[in-house]
Amino acid sequence: MPRGDEHSRVTAMGGCISLNGIWRLRAGDWTATIPGEVPGDNYTALEKAGRIPDPYFGCNEAQVQWPAEADWIYSRTFTVAPELLACPSVLLHFDSIDTVADLFINGRPLAHVDNEFRRWRFEVKPLLNAGANELEIRIRAPARAIREEEQRYPHPDVISWGCNTLHQIERLRKCQCSSGWDWGISLPVSGIYGDTYLFGARTATLEYAWDTQQHTGRTSRVTLTAELKPLASARAGDTVEVVFAFNGATRRVTAVVPRDCGAIHASCTFTVKNPERWWPNGFGAQKLYPFTVTAEGQSMTRQIGLRTIEVVRRKDGGGETFGFRVNGVDLFAKGANWIPCEAHPARRTPDRYAALLESMAAANMNMVRVWGGGIYEPECFYEACDRLGLLVWQDMMFACGVYPDDPLFQSNVRAEVTHQVKRLRSHPSIALWCGDNENLSCVYVTRSHYALIDRLNRVEAEAIAAADPTRCYWPTSPCSGDREYERNFDPAFGDTHLWGVEHGDRDLTGYLKRKARFVSEYGFASFPSLETVRTFAEPKDFNATSPVMDNHQKKNGATAGMFAMMSNYFRMPDGFAETLYLSQVKQAFALKTVTECWHA
C-alpha cells in the first residue's frame, strides 16, 4: 500500500526514525509469530505466510472469516540514539491504526486508539531508553470490539443496511465495507497503514497547511496558513518561526503560543500576477503551484491549483438546479463512484491508483465520487486527481446505516472529520464535502431514526464549517438539500441515486422516464470477463450459476436480473464465455442509453 503523506513527512530535531518495515505479527493466542509488513494488514501477512488460502479463489472466503474473532499483536524492536533523546520532546506518529488498539512501549502502557481514520501522535520520551526499545500494538478483534461497544452503549436504533458479515459495524470507525457489501468480499482486516515514525520537537508540531484564494481580474491573492500544536511543555507566549515558500518567494512569520496553549495559526499572503488557472479534465490545463511550510525542522509541501468552484443551486419552474461551476464555467459532470480499489490494504499501491484514475481521465470523465462506505484515500489518490483534472465529491465515511449518537462516539467523529478535511482541503480537486452515503435512504425505508441521523449530520456540518468554510457541505447522498427528511427524495432537487431500472424495471426505457438534477450514483451490472473469472474459478465451475460464481455474486437476485434483462433484448447465448460477453454488451448498451438520455 502507499506510504503516508510523503509531502508532510517530518524532518525533525535529532532526526526521524522510520518504523516502517517488517514487524512481528501474531494472533492473541499464538506463541509463534509471522512477518507482518508495516504499512500493511493481517490478511496479506497471513496469506504470504501460508496460514490462509487466497480469499478470492473458489469459495475460500468462508474459510477466512476467523481473523475477525482474533486479537492481532504487532511488535518490533527499534533503536533510539542519544541525539533524539536530547530533544525536549519525542513523538510517535501513526498515519492510521485499524482499529481499536492498545499501545505499549517497553511493556508500559502508552495509549488507546479507536479510529482507523484519525492520525495519532503521542509523547513517548519518558518511556524510551537510549539504545534498544520494544513497541507493541495490540489490536482488538473487530467482532469483539463491536460487542464491547454494544454493551457500552446498547442503543436499539443502531442498524446496518449493508451486506456486512460483522453485525453493527457502524459502531466502529473502520472501513464499513471491510466486512462485505453487495458488491464485495468480506475481509475484516486489522493493520497499521501509512507511515509510522518517531521524531523530535521543541515547542510545537506542524499539523496542517492549506490555502485560501481571492481572484480579481488578472491577479490572484493566495493566503497560506499553517496550523501547529503546542507541546505539553510549551508556555503561553513562546514563539515559533514559520517559513512559507511559494511561487519563487520566501517569507517568515513569527507565531506565538496563545494563552490557552491551543492551536497556533500562522498565515501570510502572496500575489500571483497573470495566474494560470486549474481546470477540470476537458476544460483546460491543470496548472499546479507548489508551496512549502517549515517550522522547527518540520516541513510540509503541498501543490495547489488556482481556481474558483461553486455548487450552483438555482430555483426554476421545476424545482432547483444542482451543478458545479469552475472558474465561472458550468460543467456537465461525467464520472464514476470510487470504492476501495483492493480489499487488502497492502495491495493499494500508487501504481494501482494511477492506472485506475488515468483510465477515468482517458474516458473523458471529470469527476469521481469517493463513496462513504470505504476509506478516505491516501495522498497519492488526491494528487493524481489534481494532476488529471478529476473533481472529487468526497463523502465522509458513513454508509447505509444509523450510527450511535452518544457523546464519546460523536467526539470521535468530530476529531476524524476535522482531521480529514484539514488534511485534504488544499487539493484543488476537492469539490464538495458530503456527510455520508445513503444513511437517510435507509431511514427513508424505515421512516424512523431521524434523530440519530440528524445528530450525526450536525456534528459533521459543524466540524466541516470550522475546518473548511470555503466549500459546500451536502448533508447526505442522495438528498434534496435543506428540506424535511420526509420530503427529501424529490428528484427535482439535489442529487439522486438511480437504481430502479436495474433493480426494478428490467427495461432500459425506464431511464427515459426518470428525470433528476444530478445523478451521483447509478450503474448496471455485468459478469466479469473470462480472463478475470479464471483468476478465481476452475473450468469445472464455469457456469453462471455455479456455487463459485454465486459466491462471487454478492447481491441477492442480481444474476437472475441479468438474465432477465438479456432475454429482453437478446437471444440467450450458447456457452459460458458467450454469456459473460453478452452481459457486458448489455451493460454497455445500458450505459450508452442512460448517458445519451441525461446529456440530451
Its pTM surpasses 0.75:
yes
Round to whole Å and give the CA distance between 46 and 101. Answer: 19
Measure the CA–CA gap between 409 and 327, rounded to whole angstroms.
39
**pLDDT tens digit at each of 600 positions of the chain:** 776 554 444 445 457 999 999 999 999 999 999 999 999 999 999 999 999 999 999 999 999 999 999 999 999 999 999 999 999 999 999 999 999 999 999 999 999 999 999 999 999 999 999 999 999 999 999 999 999 999 999 988 888 876 789 989 999 999 999 999 999 999 999 999 999 999 999 999 999 999 999 999 999 999 999 999 999 999 999 999 999 999 999 999 999 999 999 999 999 999 999 999 999 999 999 999 999 999 999 999 999 999 999 999 999 988 999 999 999 999 999 999 999 999 999 999 999 999 999 999 999 999 999 999 999 999 999 999 999 999 999 999 999 999 999 999 999 999 999 999 999 999 999 999 999 999 988 766 666 688 888 899 999 999 999 999 999 999 999 999 876 666 677 889 999 998 878 766 668 888 888 888 999 999 889 999 999 999 999 999 999 999 999 999 999 888 998 998 888 889 989 999 999 999 999 999 999 988 888 876
User: Could you tell me which CATH number the domain at 204-304 has?
Assistant: 2.60.40.10
**C-alpha cell of 517?**
438534477
Element (H, E) at 139: strand 131-139
- Nearest-angstrom CA–CA distance, 457 and 443: 13
Contact 268, 292 (CB under 8 A): no
Q: What is the pLDDT of residues 331-351, one digit of tens each?
A: 999 999 999 999 999 999 999
* pLDDT at residue number 466: 98
Q: Is the distance from CB of 159 to CB of 133 less than 8 angstroms?
A: no
Angle in degrees, 0-180, between the axes of helices 379-388 and 350-362, rounded to the nearest 10? 30
Q: Write down the H helix ranges in 402-544.
A: 407-424, 439-446, 450-467, 500, 510-513, 530-533
* Model pLDDT, residue 598: 82
Alpha-helical regions (H) of 112-220: 142-152
Residue 8, pLDDT score: 47
The pLDDT value recorded for residue 504 is 62
Which secondary structure element, helix H or strand E, spans residue 430, and what is its range?
A: strand 430-434
* Residue showing cell 507565531: 255
Look-up of cell digits 456457452: 575
Residue 336 and residue 365 in contact, taking contact as beta carbons nearer than 8 Å: yes
The alpha carbon torsion through 140, 144, 145, 149 (nearest 10 deg) reads -160
Amino acid 6: pLDDT = 45
Rounded-to-integer distance, Cα 460 and Cα 473, Å:
9
d(CA 34, CA 27): 9
User: Residue 51: helix, strand or coil by DSSP?
Assistant: coil
Cell 500494538 locates to 137
pLDDT at 511: 83
CA distance 397 to 371: 8
CB contact at 8 A, 442 and 161: yes
Query: Of 392, 336, 267, which is closest to residue 523 (Cα–Cα)?
Result: 336
According to CATH, the superfamily of the domain at 6-200 is Galactose-binding domain-like (2.60.120.260)
What is the SS3 assignment for 237? coil
Please answer whether residues 68 and 166 qualify as being in contact, where contact means their C-beta atoms are separated by less than 8 angstroms: yes
One-character DSSP codes across 523-583: ----PPPHHHHTTT--GGG-STTSHHHHHH--STTHHHHHHHHHHHHSPPPSSHHHHHHHH
pLDDT at 484: 67
Q: And the C-alpha cell for 597?
A: 438520455
Would you mind telling me the total number of residues written for the chain in this entry? 600
Q: Can you point out the beta strands (E) in 202-348?
A: 204-216, 219-230, 239-246, 249-256, 264-273, 289-295, 298-304, 309-312, 315-316, 319-320, 323-326, 329-331, 335-338
Rg of the chain in Å (alpha carbons): 25
Instruction: Look at residue 557 in the predicted model and tell me its pLDDT.
Output: 87
Pick the CATH number of 333-490 from 3.40.50.2300, 3.40.50.720, 1.10.10.10, 3.20.20.80: 3.20.20.80
How far, in Å, CA of 50 to CA of 37, rounded?
Answer: 15
DSSP-derived letter for residue 328 is: T
* Residue 229, strand partner residues: 205
Q: Who's near 560: CB < 8 A, 6+ residues apart?
A: none
